[in-house]
Structure 1
Amino acid sequence: MREEAAKKARRRKWWIQGSVGVVIIAVLAVIALVIVNSIPQGQTSAGPKNMISDGIVMTSSTKAVRTPALQAGESPTPTTQSDTSSKAYITIYEDLQCPYCQQFEQTNMSQITQWLDSGIATLELHPLNYLTSQGNGGYSLRAGNAMACVAEYFPDKFITVNTALYAKQPQENTGGLPNSKILSILKSAGVSSDNVTKCVNDTKFTSWLNAATSRATTKKLPNSNVTTFGGTPTVIVNGQQYKGSLTDASTFASFVESAVGSSSTSTSTPTPTPTATQ
Structure 2
Amino acid sequence: MAKRPNRAQTENRMAAEAREAAKRTQELAAKGMRRRRIIISSSVAAAIVLILGGVALGIALKPKDIVTTDAGPANMASWGIALTGSDGNITAVRTEATAATASPTATVWTGDDADKKHVQLYLDWACPACKAFEEGNAELLTDAVASGEITLELFPLAVVDRAYSTDYATRGANAAACVADIAPDSFLDVQERMFAAQPAEGTAGLSNEDMIRIIGEAGVTDPKLATCITDGTYRGWVEATTNRVAQDESLRTTIQGRTAFFTPTLATDGKPWDREGTVADYLTR
1:202-213 → structure 2 map (5 Å cutoff): 202-213=231-242
Aligned residues: 223
| Residue of 19, 43, 63 corresponding to 2:91 | 63
For residue 136 of structure 1, report the CA deviation from its aligned partner.
4.0
Mapped pair 1:75 → 2:106: no
For residue 198 of structure 1, report the CA deviation from its aligned partner.
0.3
State the match for 1:231 in structure 2. Answer: 262
State the match for 2:215 in structure 1. Answer: 186
Q: Is the 8 A contact 2:253 2:274 kept in 1?
A: no
Q: Is the 8 A contact 2:125 2:173 kept in 1?
A: yes
Q: 1:170 to 1:69 in 2, by over 3 A?
A: same
Percent identity for Structure 1 against Structure 2: 35
- Counterpart-to-counterpart distance in 2, 1:256 and 1:58: 16
Q: Is the 8 A contact 1:42 1:207 kept in 2?
A: no
Answer 1 or 2: which has greater helix percent. Answer: 1
State the match for 1:17 in structure 2. Answer: none
Q: Is the 8 A contact 1:53 1:79 kept in 2?
A: yes
Q: Is the 8 A contact 2:119 2:150 kept in 1?
A: yes
- Counterpart-to-counterpart distance in 1, 2:209 and 2:248: 34
State the match for 2:79 in structure 1. Answer: 54
1:86-101 → structure 2 map (5 Å cutoff): 86-101=115-130
Q: Is the 8 A contact 1:183 1:197 kept in 2?
A: yes
Q: Is the 8 A contact 2:81 2:180 kept in 1?
A: yes
Q: TM-score, normalised by structure 2?
A: 0.71
For residue 62 of structure 1, report the CA deviation from its aligned partner.
3.6
Q: What secondary structure, in the 3-state scheme, does the structure 1 residue paired with 2:261 have?
A: coil
Deviations 1:138-162 (A, max 9, x none): 1101111111000111011111101
- Counterpart-to-counterpart distance in 2, 1:62 and 1:86: 17
- Counterpart-to-counterpart distance in 2, 1:37 and 1:217: 13
Deviations 1:4-59 (A, max 9, x none): xxxxxxxxxxxxxxxxxxxxxxxxxxx99824344899522100001011100011
For residue 172 of structure 1, report the CA deviation from its aligned partner.
1.2
Q: 1:256 to 1:238 in 2, by over 3 A?
A: farther
Q: What secondary structure, in the 3-state scheme, does the structure 2 residue paired with 1:91 have?
A: strand
Unaligned runs of 5+ in 2: 1-28, 39-65
State the match for 1:108 in structure 2. Answer: 137
Q: 1:189 to 1:36 in 2, by over 3 A?
A: same
Q: Is the 8 A contact 2:113 2:151 kept in 1?
A: no
Match of 1:70, as an amino acid?
T
For residue 117 of structure 1, report the CA deviation from its aligned partner.
1.1
State the match for 2:195 in structure 1. Answer: 166
Q: 1:175 to 1:39 in 2, by over 3 A?
A: closer
Q: Is the 8 A contact 2:161 2:168 kept in 1?
A: yes
Answer 1 or 2: which has greater strand percent. Answer: 2
Unaligned runs of 5+ in 1: 1-30, 259-278
Mapped pair 1:243 → 2:285: no
Q: Is the 8 A contact 1:84 1:238 kept in 2?
A: no
State the match for 2:156 in structure 1. Answer: 127
Q: Is the 8 A contact 2:74 2:98 kept in 1?
A: yes
Mapped pair 1:255 → 2:282: yes
State the match for 2:167 in structure 1. Answer: 138
State the match for 1:19 in structure 2. Answer: none
For residue 230 of structure 1, report the CA deviation from its aligned partner.
1.6
State the match for 1:3 in structure 2. Answer: none
Higher-Rg structure is: 1
Q: Is the 8 A contact 2:84 2:113 kept in 1?
A: no
Q: What secondary structure, in the 3-state scheme, does the structure 2 residue paired with 1:230 have?
A: strand
Q: TM-score, normalised by structure 1?
A: 0.72
- Counterpart-to-counterpart distance in 1, 2:279 and 2:67: 35
Match of 1:79, as an amino acid?
T
Q: Is the 8 A contact 1:62 1:159 kept in 2?
A: no
Mapped pair 1:36 → 2:34: yes
